[in-house]
Structure 1
Amino acid sequence: MNLYQLFSFSTARYPDKLALVQDTRKWSYSRLSDEVDKVASSLHRLGLKQGDRVMVLLKNRIETVVVFWAVQKLGAIFAPINLRASTEEILYCVNDLETRFIIFEDASKHLILNQKFSERPLLIGLEDSLGDFSYGELVKKGTTNVEPFSEQDDDIAVILYTSGTSGKPKGVPRSHKNEYAATIAHIIHSHYHTFEKTLGIPSLSHTIGLRSLLAMTYLNGAYFPVQSFDTYHTLKLIVEEEISCLFLTPTMYHEIVNYPQANTFDFSSIHSIVYSGGPMPAKLISKCDELMNPDFFVNLYGSTEIFTLSINQDIRNKPGSCGKAGINGRLKLLKLNRLLESHFDWVTESGEVGVILVDISSPEAFKGYWNRPDATKKSINNGWYFTGDVGYLDKEGELQVVGRTDDMIISCGENIYPQEIEKVLIDHPSVKEVVVVGEDDERYGQIVTAFIVTDEQELTPQMLDYFCKMDERLPNYKRPRNYIFVKNIPKNSAGKILRRELRDGKYEEVL
């Protein structure tokens, strides 16, 4: 099944059900389908063909959803780009995609106007007079009789660019089968049901955002696109619209539960909350549970390349655990000393740390990076995808992620993983956020440095060091040797921590 079929089936099934809500606009599936047809017919008239790439530089809004489905109807490829990308990154992606169309808005015009493209795409502005054509013109001049293309399962539906912490972004082609399989898995893992309501806060340029839209469409649910995350606005929407499920990053949940009047809002409509994009500290899990009291609290460990790596369907039972492989997959751990050898030597002992590999035959898995055979060769080997993450299986066979291979700290010949230390320090009542990195040291090779965010001016390195000494989870050689208090932790737009910036001294220290 291709994605447009998913949409058309849902529209035929419940045409009058609520599909999209943004401010005062409330669209049914039938209303949405009419606008999709009009935009698709106009794009087709302008020359958009099957397989063409459409770069989308829009915030989460109704028009973004319309463009997504219109592109799918024509068999073209939806390529959403993060609006926080630099003009240099945008230009790279335009050329990498050989983009035929760019659809943008006033907030993103600075990224593309007056750029020198290798081959200039057709520019379509959301507002009038921004590009060669406006979105309004597409709707006004469109018709509702354009025939859908018959894409195959393995045809590319979407290209998402990874928000890496260094180097050029990599395009991840996602086929119709990939997206369909990932959506079904997400619905099952998250315990969703028909007519759900969710907030579309994560951008459609991130796999979390796209998954929420597709899951709601499959279930004839309502999707509430949110242009920018604001904690108070989010809390109001949850109450006023009786939102039933959430799929957000840990950073977003942190902002919600720490809002000063959060406990005055009614969360009784929510039955399922899911997070991905990074670990969630135990005390944040506890706060979310206390405030929202969901029936299901799911930790989804995943990636852009393969949506579901593993799933813990109730994180409250074992904070920190990533659970077991999802319904479409299989994962194994490769011994660290076998990384560069031709055959695999798997970790077999409980507790032994290894590199996390995922079976590439999963229907959720991509087949390789866009125009990057070098990166593909590095990431896929003998039918396995190298996540770059490091972890171990506990006694119950559940996955515990301890860090990334490139974040590993080697001090006095010992391998140390940042998350092992972060899990301890975040339990200190005065620590709001913590990130651990390796700092070069002439004597030890590297030493453990902890960057701390706190509101308590009285907190000292000595107090934190004593706290670590008293915690039996942390051997002495893993204790931080340096504590730096900072105003905030640098993150990218997906909420991923930019450890490299901390290592490079790009932070504001609190003296």
Structure 2
Amino acid sequence: MTSLSCPIREGAAHHPDAQALTFAGRSWSYRELDEAVGHWVAALEARGIASGQRVALLATNHADSVFLFWALGRLGAVLAPLNARLTASELAPLVDDVEPALVLALASLREKFPRAEPLEAFASSATSATCGALEVSSPRVVLFTSGTTGRPKGAVLTEGNFRASCRASAANLGTHPAPRWLGTLPLFHVGGLSMLTRTAYEGGCLVLHERFDVDSANRAFDEEAVSHASLVATTLERVLDARGGRRMPSTFEVALIGGGPVPVPLLERARAVGLVALQTYGLTESCSQAATERPGDADGRTAGPALPGVEVRVVGPSGAPCGPGEEGDIQVRGPTVMSGYWRRPEATREALRDGWLHTKDLGVVDARGRLTVLSRRTDLILRGGENVYPAEVEAVLINHPAVQEAAVVGIADARWGEVPVAFLVPRVGQERPDVDALADWCRRDLAGFKQPVRFIWREALPRNAMGKLERQVLRQDASH
């Protein structure tokens, strides 16, 4: 099996002075990044971190997260990044599931997980030259995602997955001598990690920001020669609004737009100022992109064809491939697909069958092989690029003493794409809490993006003859 070396070590040997990372006013060349990673390797070795062990990380975007990722790779250890927006009660079962040998957190987030050690103080003053080779099958991260049940599953992504994703994306977008990716997507999401790895494999630079800020993003476009970016519809619109018609610089090449459908007029606005925006479809389990528009023939009406080296198909109820224009379930096959779910053999067997990843998303492929995504899983709510799983929100609501039943659905929203609305059935003999009390209840256990924007009381929830909840009826009620 082919052994794969650390791209930062390779970069330090072949282009040591090329810029590899910028963050918060600082810059690291490949030589400097290699040295910084060596200090983190030494610190991890001092703690006995070895191949196959997991290190959990609770952080917003930070240079230390980059150092940690590459250091773990040199030891063959695995990163388990945690969503910094989750509450303490949401984080605890994820950490328990991954059984980390070490938990690190930014100081500003340690109150959510007090036993975590401070990330900022972890690096050693000593250094280590350890740089073990990885195999294609070597696990690199466990990224938590959920199906419509809301029960967290850790997708295991390998070194081979990230490298294949990089090759496929580059083959679609065109070669670039040293891409400069704007890193505003969080490094605890697959999109952020894809940019981190992509720049390293291609000898480019990650222009890392702590979070998306429209003024900082536009400054990076105009002054830092950013060539590529990944955005969602809401952030793209904010970039365009802030630019006020000002054209993009010639150094900028393309933006990938994920997180759900993008209004065609918004894409046309982008092109009018020289911002080529390509719609894309991907998921954690396929290491980000699976299908993306091609720069030369994008029209903003589909998510494009499968990436080179990746297969995407739509199948009907019998499992037979659908013809052009026929709706069905989206499946993905190729070297970017995860190795499986962490310690979830049944879920892995359900998702990976006959060599295909069964996404549970619905879509249609046209005669040109371009994918249109019809639904991001049946009940999933996509709020500004963040997944909101109804079952998870419902579980919090039905724990309220005054709530007998709860159902959460998504409705269209001009700013966020979709927002969650909760329908509640009161418990007999209990006084109905007001909106503020319900909001406070949710705030204790749910991240902000998961909290319902409205609470609607009903005497009963609509169900069909089989007793199944009719969510579409609720969506219609909530939209009126």
TM-score, normalised to structure 1's length? 0.72
After superposition, the Cα gap between the structure-2 partners of 1:219 and 1:501, relative to the gap in structure 1 and judged at 3 Å, is farther
After superposition, the Cα gap between the structure-2 partners of 1:197 and 1:48, relative to the gap in structure 1 and judged at 3 Å, is same
Which residue number in structure 2 is paired with residue 320 of structure 1?
301
Which residue number in structure 2 is paired with residue 21 of structure 1?
22
| Distance across 2 between alignment mates of 1:58 and 1:351 | 43
Which residue number in structure 2 is paired with residue 119 of structure 1?
none
Query: Could you tell me which of 380, 386, 389 is aligned with 2:361?
Result: 389
| Distance across 2 between alignment mates of 1:58 and 1:224 | 17
Which residue number in structure 1 is paired with residue 85 of structure 2?
84
| Distance across 2 between alignment mates of 1:72 and 1:316 | 38
Which residue number in structure 2 is paired with residue 274 of structure 1?
256
| Distance across 1 between alignment mates of 2:82 and 2:244 | 32
What amino acid is aligned across from residue 54 of structure 2 in structure 1?
A: R
| Distance across 2 between alignment mates of 1:379 and 1:314 | 31
What amino acid is aligned across from residue 117 of structure 2 in structure 1?
A: I
- Give deviations 1:475-494, integer Å, cap 9, x for gaps: xxxxxxxxxxxxxxxxx999
| Distance across 2 between alignment mates of 1:207 and 1:499 | 27
After superposition, the Cα gap between the structure-2 partners of 1:449 and 1:36, relative to the gap in structure 1 and judged at 3 Å, is closer
Q: State the Cα RMSD in Å.
A: 3.3
- Give 1:316 deviation, angstroms: 6.7
- Give deviations 1:130-151, integer Å, cap 9, x for gaps: xxxx22xx332x2243x22333
Query: Could you tell me which of 323, 329, 334 is aligned with 1:355?
Result: 329
Taking the TM superposition and a 5 Å limit, the aligned residue runs for 1:157-172 are 157-162=140-145, 167-172=150-155
Asked if the contact 1:277/1:494 (under 8 Å) is kept, the reply is: no
- Give deviations 1:323-343, integer Å, cap 9, x for gaps: 22221222222213x3xxxxx
Q: Give unpaired runs (5+ residues) of structure 2.
A: 383-389, 391-408, 416-445, 457-470
Which residue number in structure 1 is paired with residue 48 of structure 2?
47
Q: Secondary structure at the match of 2:245?
A: helix
After superposition, the Cα gap between the structure-2 partners of 1:210 and 1:197, relative to the gap in structure 1 and judged at 3 Å, is same
Query: Could you tell me which of 258, 267, 273 is aligned with 1:285?
Result: 267
- Give deviations 1:284-324, integer Å, cap 9, x for gaps: 11121112344xx4322111111332221138743221222
Which of 497-506 and 86-95 deviates more?
497-506
Which residue number in structure 1 is paired with residue 315 of structure 2?
334
- Of structures 1 and 2, the one with the larger relative CO (CA 8 A, separation 6+) is 2
Asked if the contact 1:57/1:105 (under 8 Å) is kept, the reply is: yes
Which residue number in structure 2 is paired with residue 481 of structure 1?
none
Asked if the contact 1:248/1:274 (under 8 Å) is kept, the reply is: yes
Which residue number in structure 2 is paired with residue 178 of structure 1?
161
- Give 1:266 deviation, angstroms: 4.6
- Give 1:495 deviation, angstroms: 8.9
- Give 1:358 deviation, angstroms: 1.8
- Is residue 234 of structure 1 aligned with residue 217 of structure 2? yes
Which residue number in structure 2 is paired with residue 125 of structure 1?
118
- Give deviations 1:55-82, integer Å, cap 9, x for gaps: 1112212111111111111110011111
Which residue number in structure 2 is paired with residue 8 of structure 1?
9
Taking the TM superposition and a 5 Å limit, the aligned residue runs for 1:106-505 are 106-113=107-114, 123-127=116-120, 134-135=121-122, 138-140=123-125, 142-145=126-129, 147-162=130-145, 167-259=150-242, 261-264=243-246, 266-294=248-276, 297-307=277-287, 308-314=289-295, 317-336=298-317, 338=318, 344-348=319-323, 350-359=324-333, 362-407=334-379, 451-453=412-414
- Give 1:450 deviation, angstroms: 5.7
- Give 1:53 deviation, angstroms: 0.3
| Distance across 2 between alignment mates of 1:32 and 1:197 | 16
TM-score, normalised to structure 2's length? 0.77
| Distance across 2 between alignment mates of 1:501 and 1:8 | 54
After superposition, the Cα gap between the structure-2 partners of 1:276 and 1:108, relative to the gap in structure 1 and judged at 3 Å, is same
| Distance across 1 between alignment mates of 2:297 and 2:218 | 23
| Distance across 2 between alignment mates of 1:97 and 1:163 | 15
After superposition, the Cα gap between the structure-2 partners of 1:158 and 1:396, relative to the gap in structure 1 and judged at 3 Å, is same
Q: Secondary structure at the match of 2:270?
A: helix
After superposition, the Cα gap between the structure-2 partners of 1:323 and 1:160, relative to the gap in structure 1 and judged at 3 Å, is same
What amino acid is aligned across from residue 15 of structure 1 in structure 2?
A: P
Q: Secondary structure at the match of 1:301?
A: strand
After superposition, the Cα gap between the structure-2 partners of 1:125 and 1:384, relative to the gap in structure 1 and judged at 3 Å, is same
| Distance across 2 between alignment mates of 1:216 and 1:449 | 35
- Give 1:209 deviation, angstroms: 0.8
Asked if the contact 1:89/1:169 (under 8 Å) is kept, the reply is: no
What amino acid is aligned across from residue 276 of structure 1 in structure 2?
A: G
Asked if the contact 2:8/2:200 (under 8 Å) is kept, the reply is: yes
Percent identity between matched residues is: 26
- Give 1:398 deviation, angstroms: 2.0
What amino acid is aligned across from residue 249 of structure 2 in structure 1?
A: F
| Distance across 1 between alignment mates of 2:340 and 2:297 | 35
| Distance across 2 between alignment mates of 1:272 and 1:496 | 30
After superposition, the Cα gap between the structure-2 partners of 1:405 and 1:83, relative to the gap in structure 1 and judged at 3 Å, is closer
